Structure 1
Amino acid sequence: MTTDRARAPGAPAAPASADPADLTDPADSAHSTGFAAALREAARIAVLSPSSHNCQPWAVAWARSEVSRVAAARVVDGEADGPGGGRGDGTYQYLVLGLDRSRELRSLPAHAVEMLLSCGLYWQLLLRALEAQGWTVDALRFADGPLDAGAARGAELPGTTWPRSWAALCVARLRGRGGAEAQPTNGGAELRALRAAARARRTNRAPYLPQPVRPALLDGLLAPSGCAAARDAAVTVRHLTSGADRAVFADFVAEHGGRDFSHREAWRETHAFLRADRARADASGDGFALDQLFGPLSWPSRQALRAALAPATMRLLGPVRYDRFVGRRLAHGLARMVRPTPVVVAMSFDRTEPTLADAVKGGARLADYWLCATAAGLALHPVSVVLQHEDLRAAFQSALRIPGRAFFVSRLGWPVTEFPCSPRRPADANLRRI
């Protein structure tokens, strides 16, 4: 899959996409109708994936027309008459992962990585859920290209009704296990387990118990599922468990954890995803309620906090360095949460200059890790600020001897309390039939 297949300058734009929920067609075979049902079920699981600011930038297209199937077959096989080319008999199905540029974060160069990781997380859950329903990934082809903030990311799927705001990141060819009727794995037990883990997964910002996590359990988290997009991810995972390493990290967070507040564009973008309360968060389907970030709040406290964090307040009080004051207070509070946490987990690309494919695969690998940790009763709370600014990322990696290019760092431990789930858009809002 290469970026040189994008629409040529001067060519007509692709037609508008179909309604997102319109995945079926009266002319579909029973095989394709069964896949549509499986895709909807997989989407209900995958939509529970985490994403930066809970912006949910992923998109998925199901290639159903002859022209789109031919285009997808060319991407995967290099030729239109490969397995499943054209409409065929429905034995093969093609899905295309996209980044919806209308939903991506853009204020920092590091967001380019975070958006692709978010898409990779979603993609892995979607493909694992399909596999659990009997639809095996037969082939994958990722977009080519370096991971540069200014580079074009992904491409259109040529000749199709491809939404112009989407960037194609990966094409998957799937085949039903068991012939015309795909057979669920273990009678559906694998799907039920995956659904339960996805529903239980949280970004838990509450305190964690100080008790250690057994080395054998940590080692067990390192094994990828072997499924789909994470299969050959070039990722290194480090568990920082020594008191010295955790103290270094906590001190680093205390010193630098407020950086976003002094970066006005980044904070303005972040603040746009903060909702006044849970009802407004649920209505929007994305972002976070203040209670999800700061714990239960009374109505007066919530209003005061909204005013204190507003970009207008930061700008008005900028001359007296109010942004730095707020940043220091919140950074020290975060450091107090980090310090007693028994484990800090850091993930890094093996390459210092990862590609588009590396980033999507890294997200897929993270999905496996997070679900495995959730199944073990552990919780994670990413501390992304140390990676979102290039100088901080380099200093963090140097201080803690993290190899490659770090893309994820998080608290890991036993939570003392449940934490509310984040709101989600409808599961089929990101699906298209092309």
Structure 2
Amino acid sequence: MLTFIGIALIVIGIAIFILKKIFTNNTAFKIPNQKRSFQIIILGILMTILNGMFFYADAGTAYAVQYLTGGDKMITTQGLKLKWWGRIIPLSYETSVKDIIVDNNSLLPESTQGMYNRKAQKWEFSDAIKAEISTSVIVGVNINDEAVFLNMADRNKSESKLIYGRVLPNIDAAIKNTCKLMDAQDYISGQASDFDRYFRDQLENGMYQVEQYYEAENSNEIVGDTTTVRRIRVNKSSKQKKFRIKRDNSGNIVRDNTNSLKQYGLKIYQAQVTGIDWESSFDERLDLQKNEVAQTQLEKQQAEREYYRAKKEVAKGESEKAKERARLEKIQIQQTIEAETEAKVAEFNLIKEKKQFEVEQFKAKSKKVAADAQYYENAKLVSAGLTPQERAEWEYKTAVGVAQQIKELSLPSTYISGSEKGNNSNLLQSLIGADLAKRMMTKEK
């Protein structure tokens, strides 16, 4: 801008000087004098000189300054900078490159510095299906290595040449190779992420070298379940030509690095497919597949509904069985507890009777011992001899007890008495006393 203004001032000054020479004696025109024309020319020259001496560096742009003396320098900061009438090559830190699918009624966005747009092209996949592919790639320059940056700027001269001559051909090669490695059917079946990965990997590290191989399209198929297996034989089979990534003996990918963006110090910040417009025949096939998938899903849902309905009935029957089992188990437990209770009660009653029997036995034994002791005491008293008064008292106390023992005595049915007047009472007392004494002595032993 300053150069244009300076040149314009120089032209105006020269024109004033010439007009002044032509119309020297003409007073109708008021033309400035020669001094003023020289001032305008000098001002124009100064502005032209200043414009070649300085330039303004914009933010987000790196500049390669090539001086008249042959040296060069990288400038990455913004502001007013000296260029000493040298040449500057501006390169954006990040440049957006897009392939856009444009409809018939829409216009392609205009390209500017730092943003380059072009119409998406048609590419052919491995199964011969064609599609327009729109991509979005963001490329960044290396400002951390001045030598690499200046070499790249010197070889490309401008940002537009770098984009159109280096970046776009690499993008086209990456898309072409990636389409070779994949069928359109595979792309829509879940391998879209693989497409993006292959695409970016080739831009960053170099293009894949691909090789052809043949795959049998129709082969024998084994179908069946756990009990029956059947082999379906296909009479005719054809081979389909496909491509795959070439690898060396160690399994590493073989790449073509002759035109890699890495050698220019460029870095890929983003590389992805933003849209695909399939050809009409494939769209029709997709519609049929969508209908088949929808029908399959519907039938699957119906089958699952029937399956879960059957499961529900089975679960309901199991619930009723469990409820009935719980009821019967409750009755069984109740009866078992009652039987166990009765058995425990009977056992306790038996123990009680047994203890009662033992108590009665001990009571009887105690009475017998007391009676025996009384008999023993009576025998001692008889043997020791008693006074008439003591004898009468003893006879009275033991009359009741002795009466029970008399029944057990075995006395002779006949005896001879030598006394007169029938003193049988003395003899009877003597026999009773003797028998009692004998029994007591036997027990004592």
Q: Between Structure 1 and Structure 2, which shows a larger proportion of helix residues? A: 2
Q: TM-score, normalised by structure 2?
A: 0.17
Q: TM-score, normalised by structure 1?
A: 0.18
Larger Rg: 2
Q: Between Structure 1 and Structure 2, which shows a larger proportion of strand residues? A: 2
